[in-house]
């Protein structure tokens, strides 16, 4: 009887020891799995990658395609996810959201390299200024204008250079820090600011035409070919619409003011007409004989002008009420 009791006690003690060993192994495995590391990875999911409060946890937000992530933790929690017609295998990893926060993503949609749009599309997009067709059409369509400002148009000119996009409109010039992903979506992205705003989506691209979509409305562009360097972006972005303006305005005119009449010839490359956008108001301007004039209105082939000058004291252009006209004769 004593021997049987001793055997039972030994068996119980053995089980406790085994359980302790298993528990210890689990603790060691967890410690190893959560070992801190640092890797740079990029999001390759075309629609972006959701980040969560923990592995398989509550969604908090989304990283866009090509977002650069700093992986600092491996959880050893693996998963298989069906993505359309294929199975993606991966691990849940911790990445830095900002200096003080760690969030978790599925690394089956991470890579050590960015996803680039094709070289053919890159060739189409670059080396030129894309100009809004509607802007050009409005110049040729209307015979009569009243106080022309052209301020109804956004995104008149667009330049693509590597991952940078510079957009010009009569309102302002903006540089958008964005990537153009495989779905040809341009987005403004500041991870620490938690802003992920789509600017536009390219729905069609050829060597000479571009269509973008903004909030379900489409806009067509044509290309003004031009070699562009990294340092040129801001300097040349307005050239697209200025070239269109000067081509439209080219011809022979009779200029008439209080001093009499004179004949003036404008060539398409003269760069005499352009858009001014000072704080005092945007308007079409034309340079004649060393003076600057605002085009107030157009009646058939006659343009009504008013001379203006820049005043530092007024922090803008001052209108002189000196009126004149330009009438196209050829």
22 within a domain of the structure (yes/no): no
Name residues whose C-beta falls within 8 Å of residue 242's C-beta, 6 or more positions apart in sequence.
Answer: 271, 273, 274, 275
Total-model pTM = 0.58
Q: Are residues 124 and 240 in the same domain?
A: yes
Q: Are residues 238 and 124 in the same domain?
A: yes
Instruction: CATH number of the domain at 56, please.
Output: 2.30.30.40
Q: Are residues 227 and 256 in the same domain?
A: no
Tell me how far apart the 2 most distant CA atoms of the chain are, in Å: 135
3 within a domain of the structure (yes/no): no
Q: Are residues 241 and 254 in the same domain?
A: no
Q: Are residues 125 and 238 in the same domain?
A: yes
CB 254 within 8 A of CB 266: no
CB 93 within 8 A of CB 115: no
27 within a domain of the structure (yes/no): no
Residue-wise pLDDT tens for the chain (330 aa)? 545 544 444 454 455 545 444 444 433 333 344 445 679 998 888 778 999 999 999 999 998 777 889 999 999 999 999 887 789 999 999 999 988 899 999 999 998 876 666 677 788 888 899 999 988 888 777 666 654 555 567 788 888 887 678 888 766 555 555 667 666 777 765 544 444 567 888 888 888 899 998 888 899 999 998 888 777 777 888 888 888 888 988 999 999 988 899 999 988 887 788 777 655 556 788 888 888 898 888 888 898 988 888 888 767 777 788 889 999 998
DSSP string, 187-223: EEEEGGGTEEEEEEEEEEE-SSEEEEEETTEEEEEEE
Final residue belonging to a domain, choices 217, 245, 273: 245
Query: Domain limits at 189?
Result: 119-245
Q: Are residues 166 and 223 in the same domain?
A: yes
Q: Are residues 237 and 273 in the same domain?
A: no
292 within a domain of the structure (yes/no): yes
Name residues whose C-beta falls within 8 Å of residue 309's C-beta, 6 or more positions apart in sequence.
Answer: 291, 292, 317, 318, 320
Domains in the chain: how many in total? 3
16 within a domain of the structure (yes/no): no
302 within a domain of the structure (yes/no): yes
Q: Are residues 136 and 236 in the same domain?
A: yes
How much is the CA Rg of the chain, to the nearest whole Å? 32
Q: Are residues 157 and 205 in the same domain?
A: yes
Final residue belonging to a domain, choices 229, 245, 261: 245
Q: Are residues 153 and 229 in the same domain?
A: yes
Q: Are residues 311 and 237 in the same domain?
A: no
171 within a domain of the structure (yes/no): yes
18 within a domain of the structure (yes/no): no
Final residue belonging to a domain, choices 83, 111, 139: 111
Q: What angle do CA 165, 167, 168 make, to 5 degrees?
A: 155
Tracing tokens 């004291």 back to the chain, one arrives at 313
């Amino acid at each position: 009887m004593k021997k049987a009791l001793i055997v039972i006690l030994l068996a119980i003690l053995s089980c406790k020891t085994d359980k302790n060993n298993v528990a210890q192994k689990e603790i060691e495995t967890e410690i190893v799995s959560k070992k801190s590391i640092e890797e740079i990875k990029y999001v390759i999911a075309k629609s972006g990658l959701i980040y969560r409060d923990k592995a398989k946890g509550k969604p908090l937000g989304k990283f866009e395609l090509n977002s650069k992530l700093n992986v600092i933790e491996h959880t050893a929690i693996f998963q298989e996810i069906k993505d359309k017609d294929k199975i993606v295998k991966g691990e849940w990893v911790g990445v830095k959201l900002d200096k003080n926060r760690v969030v978790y993503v599925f690394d089956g949609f991470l890579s050590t390299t960015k996803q680039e749009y094709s070289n053919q599309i890159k060739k189409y997009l670059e080396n030129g200024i894309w100009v809004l067709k509607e802007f050009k059409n409005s110049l040729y369509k209307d015979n009569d204008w009243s106080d022309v400002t052209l301020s109804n148009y956004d995104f008149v000119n667009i330049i693509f250079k590597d991952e940078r996009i510079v957009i010009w409109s009569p309102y302002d010039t903006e540089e958008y820090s964005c990537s153009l992903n495989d779905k040809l979506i341009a987005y403004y992205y500041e991870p620490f600011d938690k802003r992920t705003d789509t600017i536009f989506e390219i729905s069609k691209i050829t060597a000479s035409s571009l269509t973008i979509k903004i909030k379900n409305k489409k806009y067509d562009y044509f290309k003004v070919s031009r070699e562009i360097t990294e340092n040129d972006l801001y300097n040349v972005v307005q050239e697209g619409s200025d070239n269109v303006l000067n081509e439209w305005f080219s011809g022979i005119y009779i200029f008439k003011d209080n001093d009499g009449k004179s004949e003036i010839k404008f060539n398409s490359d003269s760069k005499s007409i352009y858009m001014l956008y000072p704080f005092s108001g945007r308007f079409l301007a034309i340079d004649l004989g060393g003076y600057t004039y605002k085009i107030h209105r157009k009646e058939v082939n006659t343009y009504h002008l008013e001379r203006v000058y820049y005043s530092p004291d007024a922090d803008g252009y001052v209108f002189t009420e000196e009126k004149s006209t330009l009438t196209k004769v050829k």
